Amino acid sequence: MKRDAFSQYHPAVNFVFFVGAIGFGVVIQHPAYAAAGCVSAALYYLLLRGRSAWKLILSMLPLAALLTLINPLFNTSGEHILFRVFGRPYTLEALYYGMAIAAIFVVMMLWFGCYNAVLTSDKFTGLFGNLIPALSLLLVMVLRMIPNFFRKMKQIIGARRSIGKGAEKSGSTKEKIGQGMTVLSALTDWALEGSVVTADSMRARGYGTARRTSFQIYRMTLRDWVLLALMVFLAAGVIVAGGVRAEFTPILSIAPLTWGFAAYCVFLSIPTALHIKEALQWRISISKI
């Protein structure tokens, strides 16, 4: 991932943004809103991933087209009948509706792509560690256990191969299953043995003696609060202004745009704007040197 200004903010700020962007994106079917979502999500995803972003974005196009074209096959209500398929009407309104659904789908996929790049697993656990300390510790321990498990499995299989006890390619399925079970049971023994030590190590460091606190590696600073406030303000604006109603079938009826749309556009372009602002600042400061 490329260096990104928005990712440097507190995970809570990142999280609130994605909740807003994905939430609005899914709920609001208004075509203008959906278009704004598509453009800003694609733009931000491009900034995050660089050239490799095109792969996801381009693969979205046929999918979106498919979703659009399929919808009228199932949804037959609407005034303007384009043609009939097996006697069922294929209407213009349903086609528009399909477009809206496709747009929602694309917006969601792209925002989740951005989400994965910005909110890494350690940010997520760091964010929710304070709310549910026991659960987050469990999560952290599981995250550590899984790769350990695979590493040990490889080790056992290697060790068994070097004494001629590996699963032969020519062996029967039954033999292979038998070998697999042996490795699995050995692995379980090993893991249990290790977990005794881990438990000792936890108790030796006072686990369970007091109410656990959680070390926060991320801190809310002033700029985090400012950005958070701005986001909440804009989101509230979108909700209060209204004008997001859009009905496609049986009669096309789309609400006129209000200033809520402007608020929505500003909201969605926050990460992109921050990214570009930082890139420009960096250019300028270098050119001054």
Partner 1 sequence: MAHFHIQNLSFSYPNAKKESLSGVTLSVEKGEYVVLCGKSGSGKTTLLRHLKSVLTPHGKRSGQILFCGVPIDEVSKQDQASKIGFVMQNPDDQIVTDKVWHELAFGLESLGCDQKTMRLRVAEMASYFGIQGWFHRNVAELSGGQKQLLNLASIMAMQPEVLILDEPTSQLDPIAASDFLNTVRKINLELGTTILITEHRLEDIYHAADRVVVMDGGKIIANDTPRRVGEQLYAQNNEMFAALPTPVRVFYGAKAEGDCPLTVREGRNWLSKTFENRTLAAVEPDSEPAMEEVRNPALKVKEAWFRYEKDSPDVLRGVSFEVPAGSLFAVVGGNGAGKSTALKAVCGICKIYRGRVEIFGKDLKKYRSGELFQNCLAMLPQDPKSLFVKKTVREELAEMCREEDKIAQAAALCEIESLMDAHPYDLSGGEQQRAALAKVLLTQPRLLLLDEPTKGLDSFFKQKFAQILRKLRQQGMTIVMVSHDVEFCAEHADLVSMFFDGQILTTDTPHRFFGQNSFYTTAANRMSRCVFRNAVTAGDVVALYQKNREGST
Strand partners, 237: none
Nearer to partner 1, 116 or 216 (CB): 216
Considering beta carbons, is residue 105 or 190 the nearer one to partner 1?
190
Choice between 205 and 288, CB closer to partner 1:
205
Q: How many CB atoms lie within 10 A of CB 216?
A: 13
Regarding 127 and contact with partner 1 (CB under 8 A), the answer is no
Shortest Cβ 165–partner 1 spacing (Å): 8
| Residue 258 in contact with partner 1, rule: CB under 8 A | no
Near partner 1 in 146-175, by CB under 8 A: 147-148, 152, 155-156, 158-165, 168-170
Yes or no: say if 21 and 9 are a contact pair by the CB < 8 Å rule.
Answer: no
Distance CA(103)–CA(26), nearest Å, equals 9
Residue entry with tokens 């304070």: 130
Q: What is the longest distance spanned by two Cα atoms in the chain?
A: 76
Closest separation in Å from C-beta 149 to partner 1? 11
The string of DSSP codes covering 46-64 is: HHHHGGGHHHHHHHHHHHH
- 182 binding partner 1? (CB under 8 A): yes
Identified binder of partner 1 from the candidate list 141, 229, 236, 240, rule CB under 8 A: 141
51, 206, 288, 289: residue in contact with partner 1 (rule CB under 8 A): 206
Residue of 131, 134, 204, 284 interacting with partner 1 (CB under 8 A):
204
Spatial contact of 86 and 74, defined as CB atoms under 8 Å apart = no
Residues 6+ positions from 242 with CB-CB distance below 8 Å: 255, 258, 260
By CB under 8 A, residue 205 contacts partner 1? yes
Strand 81-85 to strand 88-91: parallel, antiparallel, or no bridges (unpaired)? antiparallel
Please count the residues of this chain forming the interface with partner 1, following the rule CB under 8 A.
Answer: 52
**Which of 47, 57, 183, 268 is in the footprint of partner 1 by CB under 8 A?**
183
Look up residue 183 and give its two tokens.
Answer: 């490795």
* CB contact set of 7 (below 8 Å; sequence gap of 6+): 1, 14, 117, 118
Distance CA 265, CA 214 (A): 36
Binding flag, residue 193, partner 1 (CB under 8 A): yes
Q: Which is nearer to partner 1, 139 or 276 (CB)?
A: 139
Nearer Cβ to partner 1, position 20 or 129? 129
Judged by CB under 8 A, does residue 198 bind partner 1? yes
Tokens of 164: 């001629």
Q: Which residues bind partner 1 (CB under 8 A)?
A: 122, 133, 137, 140-141, 143-144, 147-148, 152, 155-156, 158-165, 168-170, 182-183, 185-186, 189-190, 193-195, 197-198, 200-217
